[in-house]
């Protein structure tokens, strides 16, 4: 098995009996599509952004198996910024191969959103929320990473991983979150262009 999407255990079983998922695993819509479309696993309310608020995590009920030298990149749905004011705070999510099946959340993939609109937004179960693209990644000649993941979402800078340095992606996410905070106003949707958000297509 090279790469595959699966439902996480909480979707398949209550612990006492088996369940039957009533939403789809990610799938491509056309033969030449790069991205797999993800659906929300449950209804989720994303509140209108207020300064200092953390992003809302929308659960997908799905995990992804892939090769050790591969990564799954998560992108926003192209219509989300314009129609709903929803943006991903770090522009792209990164799912590493060792996130699969982790003991914290079984590797469940989640999309983090800020709602830059004036009203709360409800994402309904089965609604398309974003897309994932598998790709290979490269390492340097002198790479000597020895850390082992011991947690789930946001755990790559956990000191228990034997790798205490903050990753470049997380540093970028912090920087962009600060820019979003400074940029938001009553006409906040127009301000997204200053951050380069919203240009991704399905």
Residue 48 lies in a domain: yes
Residue 146 lies in a domain: no
Residue 158 lies in a domain: no
CATH code, 33: 2.70.40.10
Q: State how far the alpha carbon of 47 is from the alpha carbons of 72, 100, 118, 121, 175, in Å.
A: 27, 29, 9, 6, 22
Residue 87 lies in a domain: yes
Q: What local confidence, expressed as pLDDT, does residue 200 receive?
A: 44
The two three-digit tokens of residue 43, written as one number: 């209804």
179 pLDDT exceeds 90? no
Q: Residue 102's CB: how many other CB atoms inside 10 A?
A: 18
**What 3-state class would DSSP assign to 101?**
coil
- Reported pTM: 0.75
125 pLDDT exceeds 70? yes
**What 3-state class would DSSP assign to 75?**
strand
Q: How many domains does the chain have?
A: 1
Residue 118 lies in a domain: yes
Q: Residue 162's CB: how many other CB atoms inside 10 A?
A: 11
Q: What local confidence, expressed as pLDDT, does residue 156 receive?
A: 55
Sequence-ordered strand ranges (E) for 40-179: 44-46, 56-59, 62-65, 70-76, 86-87, 93-96, 110-115, 121-123, 128-136
Q: What local confidence, expressed as pLDDT, does residue 28 receive?
A: 97
d(CA 121, CA 108) in angstroms, rounded, equals 22
Question: Domain range holding 108?
Answer: 4-138+165-194
Mean pLDDT to the nearest integer, 58-77: 98
Query: Please, what is the average pLDDT of the chain?
Result: 84
Q: What is the pLDDT of residues 137-161, one digit of tens each?
A: 999 999 998 877 666 555 555 555 5
Name the band, by pLDDT with cuts 50, 70 and 90, for residue 180: low
Q: What is the pLDDT of residues 87-103, one digit of tens each?
A: 999 899 999 999 999 99
């Amino acid at each position: 098995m090279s790469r595959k999407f699966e439902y996480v255990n909480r979707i398949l079983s209550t612990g006492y009996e088996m369940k039957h998922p009533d939403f789809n695993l990610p799938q491509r819509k056309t033969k030449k599509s790069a991205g797999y479309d993800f659906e929300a696993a449950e209804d989720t309310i994303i509140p209108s952004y207020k300064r200092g608020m953390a992003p809302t995590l929308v659960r997908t009920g799905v995990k992804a198996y892939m090769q050790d030298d591969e990564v799954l990149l998560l992108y926003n749905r192209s219509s989300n910024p314009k129609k709903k004011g929803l943006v991903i705070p770090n522009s792209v999510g990164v799912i590493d191969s060792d996130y699969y099946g982790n003991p914290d959340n079984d590797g469940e993939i989640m999309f983090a959103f800020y709602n830059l609109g004036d009203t709360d937004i409800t994402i309904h179960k089965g609604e398309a929320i974003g897309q994932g693209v598998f790709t290979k990644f490269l390492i340097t000649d002198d790479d000597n990473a020895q850390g082992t993941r011991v947690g789930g979402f946001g755990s790559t800078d956990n000191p228990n991983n034997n790798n205490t340095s903050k990753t470049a992606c997380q540093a970028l996410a912090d920087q962009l979150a600060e820019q979003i905070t400074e940029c938001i106003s009553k006409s906040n949707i127009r301000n997204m262009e200053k951050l380069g958000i919203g240009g991704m297509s399905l």
